[in-house]
């Protein structure tokens, strides 16, 4: 069975019309009384409301100023960032990756850490308006540790297909085997060993200057491999 629809019947006869008119007038008077009461309440409470609005605005402005100040201080810190080899040696893998990201930001790159499970041989990915994209594989080792050729193979294999990179680099606080350095040089996988890391982090030489990257030398071979 369908639901019965509610129908409003028009008043019939003078008594019903008079009753409906009285009800409508009463509702109208009540509405005006409620509106007048609301206006009166607002009139009495406006100093409090104004103070509340001003307080909320002051809190919002303070939060914005604090955020801007914090970002400015962070930018100033990164602009003068210097790290020693001893500091790198004391880091764990995650801290090492964050440090490399911060150094790239210092050098003018837009960098983010992506290392972790399933990172596909990329711990940091950085973009530059003129130099393209660089993929960094971080290899934190014990002092005297060596990085072999297998790391170079992995970075070469994923830089283009997985990350659309223009440049690829492996960075370690240790050293590389001769085969790893030679293979990297032949296949355009850049490497930063302990000595180069010191020049980059301690003396402030930008990574793209250290590796000789420029707009002219930007390669598309990684992209074509996608």
Is residue 102 scored above 80 in pLDDT? yes
SS3 186: helix
Whether the Cβ atoms of residue 191 and residue 184 lie closer than 8 Å to each other:
yes
Name the residue ranges covered by the structural domains of the chain: 14-80, 85-224
Q: Is CATH 3.40.1350.10 the right assignment for the domain spanning 85-224?
A: yes
Q: For the chain, what is the mean pLDDT?
A: 83
* Rounded Cα distance, 154 and 157, in Å: 5
> What pLDDT digit, counting tens, does each position of 37-85 carry?
777 776 777 676 666 777 787 777 767 766 655 555 555 555 679 999 9
The neighbour count for residue 14, using CB atoms within 10 Å, is 8
On the question of pLDDT at 218 being above 70, the answer is no
Q: Per the confidence metrics, is the pTM higher than 0.75?
A: no
Environment class of residue 142 by beta-carbon count within 10 Å: exposed (0-12), middle (13-18) or buried (19+)? Answer: exposed
Residues 122, 134: Cα–Cα separation, whole Å: 10
């Amino acid at each position: 069975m369908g639901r019965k629809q509610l129908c409003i019947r028009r008043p019939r006869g003078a008594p019903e019309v008079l009753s409906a008119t009285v009800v409508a007038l009463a509702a109208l008077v009540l509405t005006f009384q409620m509106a007048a009461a609301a206006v009166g309440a607002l009139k009495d409470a406006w100093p409090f409301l104004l103070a509340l609005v001003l307080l909320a605005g002051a809190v919002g402005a303070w939060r914005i100023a604090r955020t801007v100040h914090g970002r400015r201080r962070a930018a100033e810190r990164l602009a003068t960032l210097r790290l020693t080899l001893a500091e790198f040696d004391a880091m764990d893998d995650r801290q090492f990756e964050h440090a490399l990201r911060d150094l790239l930001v210092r050098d003018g790159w837009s960098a983010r850490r992506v290392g972790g499970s399933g990172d596909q041989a990329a711990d940091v990915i950085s973009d530059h308006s003129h130099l393209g994209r660089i993929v960094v594989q971080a290899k934190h080792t014990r002092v005297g540790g060596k990085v072999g050729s297998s790391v170079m193979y992995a970075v070469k294999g994923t830089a283009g297909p997985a990350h659309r990179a223009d440049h690829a680099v492996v960075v370690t606080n240790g050293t590389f085997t001769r085969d790893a350095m030679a293979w990297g040089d032949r296949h355009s996988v850049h490497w930063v060993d302990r000595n180069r890391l010191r020049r980059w982090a301690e003396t402030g030489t930008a990574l793209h200057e250290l590796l000789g990257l420029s707009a002219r030398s930007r390669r598309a071979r990684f992209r074509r491999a996608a």
